[in-house]
Amino acid sequence: MHFNTKPFLFLLISVSFLSLTSCHLFESTIVPKSEIVAASKWSDKDQYPKFGSCEGLEPEEEKECFESVITSAILDYISEQGWIASANIDTEVNLNLLVDQDGMISMSSLDAPDYVIEAIPNLEATLYEAINLIPQAEAGVKTNVGVLVTTSFTLPLRIFAQE
């Protein structure tokens, strides 16, 4: 049997050439952690979460409108509860909130002094209930990658109560 080596040699050279010229397809790119952190930070170009009622405003006004809707909803709910404090209080607490990628708003924590929690025992539960009644928002957008993101922010609340 006679074996023709020309097609075999051509095939061998072609495969070798293709494998040598396509090595870049197998190289991994390592992105430094500092670049990832920098690209992940919130920038002025990113879109803050918003409510439909805040559409069409300038970015800073949209943010203020968003916070105003949340604050009003919380204050309206609290005023319906008829809180009774066991001590005089005049302080500020911080309500830490999350808006997830679906626009759902939740309370991640409440930063309040112990004496406030003792004077108003149902404070945290009431705030939790108030936040659960806030309508769904539109999630924030990290515009440099076009991805909906979970956004956290702190809402300061002034508590003034007399026994």
DSSP states along 116-153 = HHHHSTTHHHHHHHHHHTSPP-BPEEETTTTEEE-EEE
Q: Over its length of 163 residues, how does the chain's per-residue pLDDT go in tens digits? A: 555 666 666 666 766 655 655 555 555 677 677 776 666 666 677 788 999 998 888 888 988 999 999 999 998 998 888 777 788 888 999 999 999 999 999 999 999 999 998 888 888 999 999 999 999 999 988 877 788 889 998 999 888 877 7
How far apart are alpha carbons 97 and 43 in whole angstroms? 19
> How long, in residues, is the chain?
163
Task: Identify the DSSP state of 44.
Answer: T
Largest CA distance in the chain: 108
Q: Are 149 and 140 in contact (CB under 8 A)?
A: yes
Query: What is the pLDDT at residue 139?
Result: 92
